[in-house]
Amino acid sequence: MPKPKVTIVDDDRDTREMLSFALESDGFEVNAAANGLRLISSLQLQRPDVILMDVNMSWIDGFELCKAVKKNEQFRDIPVIFISGRGDAEDRRRGLEAGAADYLVKPLDLTALIERLRELIPSAASEVP
C-alpha cells in the first residue's frame, strides 16, 4: 500500500524541513512548497492526501490559498490543516471558514498533528505504527 501523502506549504524553510523530517520518520510521503504558487503547480503532479498550510506567506496568504483550493473541483476534497503562529479565535474562525479541516497553533505538538493526520487519511491509520 502506498504511503499517505502530505504536502507542506510554508515559506519558512526550517519549518518545512522540521515537519518533513518528523512526518517522513512516521511513514508519510512528504512534498513541500515554499508558497501558494508552488502548491498550485504541484497539485496536478503530486496529489496529496492532506495539505498542511501556514497562514502568513508571500504571494498569497493561507486563508486565500485555502479558499482557492476549495473552489477547485479537482482538489476541494483534499483536507487542509492550518499550522500557524497566529492563534487567536478570529484567525481560527477565518481558517475554518476558508474550508480548513483543522487549525493548529505553533509551537506544534507533533504527536497531535500525526494523530489528526491519521484521522483524516484512512490509510494512514493502518500504515503508520
For residue 120, the domain's CATH number is: 3.40.50.2300
Domain with 66 in it: 5-127
d(CA 6, CA 18) in angstroms, rounded, equals 14
Region 96-112: what's the mean pLDDT?
96
Residue 125: pLDDT band by 50, 70, 90 thresholds? Answer: low
Domain count, the chain: 1
Which pLDDT score, from 0 to 100, does residue 44 have?
Answer: 85
The answer to whether 15 and 33 have CB atoms below 8 angstroms apart is no
Distance of CA 84 to the CA centre of its chain: 11
For the stretch 34-37, contacts whose Cβ atoms lie closer than 8 Å and that sit 24 or more positions apart, written own/partner, are: 34/9, 34/10, 35/9, 35/11, 35/59, 35/60, 36/9, 36/60, 36/62, 36/64, 36/65, 36/68
pTM: 0.94
